[in-house]
Every structure is written in C-alpha cells, then in structure tokens.
C-alpha cells in the first residue's frame, strides 16, 4: 500500500528558509511572565528575529496560552523549567552569557552587550521583575535608557528592543547567512509546521515522528502508517 502525504513545494521551501535563519544560541527566559498578551507578543518577536526556542518558569505548571500567539508557537519551541535557577544553570552549561533586565547601579546599557555571543536573556514578572535569586546568578544586568518620567517599559516591548539589537549585531556579523540549526531540530519543525494534524496525532498517541524528505514528503514505514491509521479510528 502506498501513502502520499506531502506539503506544497512553496510551503516546504518557506519553512526551510525560515529554519536556515534560526539562531539556536539566542534565547529568552520568561520568569513568571503571566499576561497572555505579553507572552504572545514576546513569542512573535522571538520568531521575527530567528529565536528557535524560548524558556519559561511558571508556577503551578501554568499552561501556556498557545492560542494567543498568532501561530508563532509552531515555529518557536517552549521549554519549561521548575525554577529560574535550573534554567540559568542549563544556560551556563551551554556556555551562554546570561543577562537579566534589571535596573540597578551595575546595569549596562543593553546596546553595549556583545549579542553575537551565545546569549540568554531573563525577563522577570510584569510587576515585580526578576527574582533576586535569578539576578544573583546572571552575568550582567542590562537596562534600556529612558529619558521620561516612567522608568520601565512593558516587558514585551523591552524584549522586542533587546532582541532587535541582537538581530542587528548578528546580521552585521553574517550569522544569518548560513544554517545554524541541526537537521534533527529542523525535522521537528518541518513535521509540526507542514503536517499539523498528523503531528497532533503522533503526540497524542506517542508515535515517533517521521522523516520529511527534500520534496516535502513524509517517509515512513508501513508499520508507522498502520499505527497512525489505527490511532485515527
């Protein structure tokens, strides 16, 4: 029995182009950022500058309101952590510099940071900011210069400004000119973005994800197709 499942060539090449610009060593940590419109805006900004994966700490396993993200959640992965300390420890194990948006006497103008280095940026909760534990673990506090009466920006606006400075520096350094994402990571996005219904079935039934070939077609064994058909009944 033959199975014909493929995405259009236009969609396949669009996704491949997107993946070729991804920056796996640039990320954000959302530490108890709760408001759906902020989370949504941050995800969209991350997608726009080529962030591949975001990280988040939410109390009580708070669900991500994925419906607010305008489809960007398909293209930007989200990894949860039980605490900011765990997340920052992970970043440092990846040899990333860890920054936190926090205004103190040691804060550095965000434009003076070298964002071509592997970088993680901690964004704190809307009202209280980053926790003292997270701040203590970070390499630098960064600030956005402000000349008005108000001394803080909305967290999603701050995220966008910082990310676009990172994008500017990385673009000038030619970091968007060659693929930096592994093929394994690319395959996950190709399947979820190109075959969302089948992807959902695989996740629901705990089936392995198939390989997507250069024509945008699924390559899988007869046993895989049979398991998928059985799960859809």
Q: How far is CA 100 from CA 44, 66, 140, 225, 233, in A?
A: 20, 25, 6, 47, 49
* pLDDT value of position 1: 47
Tell me the whole-structure pTM to 2 decimals.
0.88
Which position has the higher pLDDT, 152 or 174?
A: 174
Compute the radius of gyration of the chain from its Cα atoms: 20
Torsion of CA 95, 20, 166, 31, to 10 degrees: -60
How is residue 56 written in tokens?
A: 């988040």
**Chain segment 66-91, per-residue pLDDT in tens:** 544 456 667 899 999 999 999 999 99
Q: Which residue has the higher pLDDT, 229 or 220?
A: 220
Question: Closest by alpha carbon to 130, among 122, 138, 119?
Answer: 122
Place of tokens 């491949």: 16
Residues 104-163 have pLDDT tens digits of 888 999 999 999 999 999 998 878 888 899 999 999 999 998 777 666 788 999 999 999
Binding site feature residues: 101, 144, 153
Q: Is domain 22-172 annotated with CATH 3.40.1280.10?
A: yes
**pLDDT-above-90 percentage for the chain:** 71
Domain map (residue ranges) of the chain: 22-172, 182-232
- Phi, psi dihedral angles at 104 (to 5 degrees): -145, 180
- The pLDDT tens digits for 34-63 are 888 899 999 999 999 999 999 999 766 555
**pLDDT confidence of residue 142:** 96
Task: Return binding residues for S-adenosyl-L-methionine.
Answer: 101, 144, 153
Tens-place pLDDT, residues 15-25: 999 999 999 99
Residues 159, 213: Cα–Cα separation, whole Å: 36
Distances, alpha carbon 226 to alpha carbons 174, 204, 230, in Å: 45, 15, 6
Q: Could you report the per-residue pLDDT of 206-228, keeping only the tens digit for each?
A: 999 999 999 999 999 999 998 88
DSSP string, the chain: -----B--HHHHHHHHHHHHT-BTTEEEEEES---HHHHHHHHHHHHHHTB-EEEEE-GGGPPP-GGGGTTGGGTSEEEE-S-HHHHHHHHHHTT-EEEEE--STT-EEGGGS-TTS-EEEEE-BTTTBS-HHHHHH-SEEEE----SS-----HHHHHHHHHHHHHHHHHHTTTTSS--S-HHHHHHHHHHHH-HHHHHHHHHHTPPPPEE-TTSBEE--HHHHHHHHHHH-
């Amino acid at each position: 029995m033959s199975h014909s499942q493929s995405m259009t060539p236009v969609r396949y090449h669009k996704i491949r182009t997107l993946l070729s610009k991804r920056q796996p060593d640039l990320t954000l940590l959302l530490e108890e950022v709760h408001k759906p419109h902020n989370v949504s805006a941050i995800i969209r900004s991350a997608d726009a500058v080529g962030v591949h994966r975001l990280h988040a700490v939410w109390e009580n396993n708070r669900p991500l309101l994925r419906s607010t993200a305008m489809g960007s959640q398909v293209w930007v992965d989200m990894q949860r952590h039980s605490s900011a300390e765990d997340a920052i420890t992970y970043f440092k194990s990846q040899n990333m510099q860890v920054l936190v948006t926090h205004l103190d006497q040691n804060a550095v103008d965000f434009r003076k940071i070298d964002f071509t280095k592997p970088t993680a940026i901690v964004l704190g909760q809307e009202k209280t900011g980053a926790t003292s534990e997270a701040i203590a673990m970070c390499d630098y506090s960064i600030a956005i210069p402000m000349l008005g009466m108000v001394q803080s920006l909305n967290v999603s606006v701050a995220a966008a400004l910082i990310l676009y400075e990172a994008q500017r520096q990385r673009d000038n350094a030619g970091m968007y000119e060659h693929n930096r994402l592994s093929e394994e990571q690319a395959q996950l996005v190709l399947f979820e973005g190109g075959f969302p219904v089948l992807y959902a079935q695989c996740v629901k039934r705990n089936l392995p994800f198939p390989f997507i070939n250069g024509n945008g077609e699924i390559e899988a064994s007869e046993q895989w197709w049979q398991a998928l058909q059985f799960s859809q009944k």
